[in-house]
């Protein structure tokens, strides 16, 4: 059991180190874009399915509440939280539209739309990102 736990932690550390080496510039650029968005009075719309929906909610909560320091609340919204909206769109249209319709309703030019998909193939996430781009949101 000890070996299994150690191996899992070592792999997690390796993946994070590799990620930082390969993506630090992009990560810093994204962080700067988000900071500029908030400073200019725009908002962050975050969405995904399953575990990615949970990630979206967690990220939004950290921005609205606080992360590591006390600060004013920042406008971030997870689009996976309103069951009435999710089920009405799914029922009346399609589950593919659950995020794109919310982007059209809530998004405005220069907001940020952050779609999360572990596979990269979630149709509703892809459609929402496309909708956001068409509307002039950063993606």
User: pLDDT by residue (tens digit) across 13-35?
Assistant: 999 999 999 999 999 999 999 99
Under a CB-based contact definition with an 8 Å cutoff, are residues 79 and 109 in contact?
Answer: no
- At residue 87, φ and ψ (nearest 5 deg) are -75, -35
Give yes or no for a contact between 133 and 57, defined as CB atoms under 8 angstroms apart.
no
Instruction: Give yes or no for a contact between 139 and 132, defined as CB atoms under 8 angstroms apart.
Output: yes
pLDDT classification of 99: cutoffs 50, 70, 90 = very high
pTM, whole model, 2 decimals?
0.91
The arrangement of strands across the sheet holding 112-116 comes to 76-78, 44-48, 112-116
pLDDT (average), residues 91-103: 98
């Amino acid at each position: 059991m000890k070996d299994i736990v150690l191996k899992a932690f070592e792999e997690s550390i390796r993946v994070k180190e590799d990620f930082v080496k390969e993506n630090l510039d992009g990560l810093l650029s994204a962080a700067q874009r988000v900071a500029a968005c908030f400073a200019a009075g725009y908002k962050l719309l975050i969405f995904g399915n399953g575990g990615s929906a949970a990630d979206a909610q967690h990220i939004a909560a950290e921005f609205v509440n606080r992360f590591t320091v006390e600060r004013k609340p920042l406008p971030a919204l997870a689009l996976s939280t309103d069951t009435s909206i999710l089920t009405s769109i799914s029922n009346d249209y399609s589950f593919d539209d659950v995020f794109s319709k919310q982007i059209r309703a809530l998004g405005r030019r220069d907001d940020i739309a952050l779609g999360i998909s572990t596979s990269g193939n979630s149709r509703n996430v892809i459609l929402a990102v496309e909708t956001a781009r068409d509307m002039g949101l950063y993606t």
